Structure 1
Amino acid sequence: MQQPIIVWDFDGVLNANVIDGRFVWADRLQQDWGIDRTALVAHLFHRDRIGRIMRGQIDLRDELQFWLTDVGHNIDADVFLAYWFANDALPDAKVVCHLERSDATHVIGTNNEARRAAYIERDMGFGSLVSHIFASGRMGHAKPDTAYFRHIETWSGAPAHAHVLVDDTQANVKAACALGWQGFHFTNETRDGLPAFLDQLG
């Protein structure tokens, strides 16, 4: 029997860094750096920019350094990224423990650019917990792009129905299910049902 390939979203699932849609690492930006959170988010996460960052078409560090300099902050982007990534590292132990299940192949499927993907892989140690980390910045595709899911299918060599996406973004789950995957929309309301969902996979 084909073992399921469980594709775990990172932020908001394996990593408990999202509260009420807010990335909590940025809560102390004003106190720690004198940086206006709203202004930073408006620049980096602008709809014409964030998709290109996530797909590796724009380097996050270069874009961040441009913004910091442009608004008058004498801050090195590498130093700021180290702060960002460290404060954004909040593994959810109750979810991460499911990576120990031996009845499935576990991978991470995340919309992260290459720099943070490397931090997740090496510094946070997730590279040793899963078979592979699929990051949009390395792949050139981001969820919910069809090409993102097809890339994972090509890697696994397994049929679509053997793949399972656990993700906190409903649009991603819907896109995966439309391609024949199984899906679990992970929210505060559904998280207690995750063990039972995993138990019935097969």
Structure 2
Amino acid sequence: MSSGDFDLVVWDFDGVLNANIVDGRFVWADGLERDLGIDSNAFSDFVFRSGRMREVISGRLDLHDLVGPWLADQGHAINARDFVAYWWKKDARPDREIIALSERLSERLAVRQVIGTNNEQHRARYIEEDMGIGRLVERIFASGRMGVAKPDAGFFRQIEDWAGVPSDRILLIDDLGKNIASAQNLGWQVFHFTPATRAALPARLGL
């Protein structure tokens, strides 16, 4: 479809507005052992590869309650709150070029925009307030607040219901193919954001 045929843009955050993923890898933990003496592989095994993080981003488990006991069991002196603060700071890598596109959408075309992200409640608040990303959009839809995560269709339906916009007038910009496919199945327009496609995004947005 040509540019200008949408009423709402739904931005993914990590990997799109936030350039924190390199070659499919979250790079925030690269200095974890150097800075805090924490083995990044052991942490990833416990939190991510175990599937526990899925419970966190769906709002069924608080992140502090997950990492706090693990840090203590591993003999680390840092508490959950300070560890999470370190994590969020290292993970904050706003993509200035893509954020500028969002700003231009508002200024030139007055297009409605939201963020739709798989993030738990603490990081959603950090993104909104500490990073200041909340100023770009009407609302941040975060899975931990919604009780459902992408690519579940319920995630996208909540945005539709809130916006009151027909599904075929919504454009999702996301870096994960499974999220793109799910939204497309609901009739949304999609832009699969990758290093190979990012240069085409301004034209797709009519900029």
Q: Same fold (TM over 0.5)?
A: yes
Which residue of 2 is the match for residue 119 of structure 1? 126
Alpha-carbon separation, structure 2, partners of 1:3 and 1:119:
29
Aligned residues: 200
1:88-119 per-residue CA deviation (whole Å, 9 max, x = no partner) reads 11100110011121321111000000000000
Cα drift, residue 3 of structure 1: 5.1
Which residue of 2 is the match for residue 65 of structure 1? 68
CA contact (8 A) 1:9 1:109 kept: yes
Task: Confirm whether residue 107 of structure 1 aligns to residue 110 of structure 2.
Answer: no
Q: Which runs of 5+ in 2 are unaligned?
A: none
Tell me the amino acid that sits aligned with residue 62 of structure 1.
D
Kindly report structure 1 stretches of 4+ aligned residues shifted beyond 3 Å. none
CA contact (8 A) 1:8 1:165 kept: yes
Task: Confirm whether residue 141 of structure 1 aligns to residue 144 of structure 2.
Answer: no
Alpha-carbon separation, structure 1, partners of 2:56 and 2:81:
16
SS at match of 2:15: coil
CA contact (8 A) 2:6 2:171 kept: no
Cα drift, residue 47 of structure 1: 4.5
Tell me the amino acid that sits aligned with residue 37 of structure 1.
S
Q: Which runs of 5+ in 1 are unaligned?
A: none
CA contact (8 A) 2:6 2:170 kept: no
Identity over the aligned pairs, expressed in percent?
52
Q: CA RMSD in A?
A: 1.4
SS at match of 2:10: strand
Tell me the amino acid that sits aligned with residue 87 of structure 1.
K
CA contact (8 A) 1:112 1:137 kept: yes
Alpha-carbon separation, structure 2, partners of 1:161 and 1:70:
50
Which residue of 2 is the match for residue 195 of structure 1? 202
Tell me the amino acid that sits aligned with residue 97 of structure 2.
K
Alignment of 1:176-191 (within 5 A): 176-191=183-198
Equivalent of residue 33 in structure 1, options 33, 36, 41 = 36
Alignment of 1:14-93 (within 5 A): 14-93=17-96
CA contact (8 A) 1:3 1:105 kept: no
1:116-138 per-residue CA deviation (whole Å, 9 max, x = no partner) reads 00000000011111100000000
Q: TM-score, normalised by structure 1?
A: 0.95
Alpha-carbon separation, structure 2, partners of 1:6 and 1:42:
35
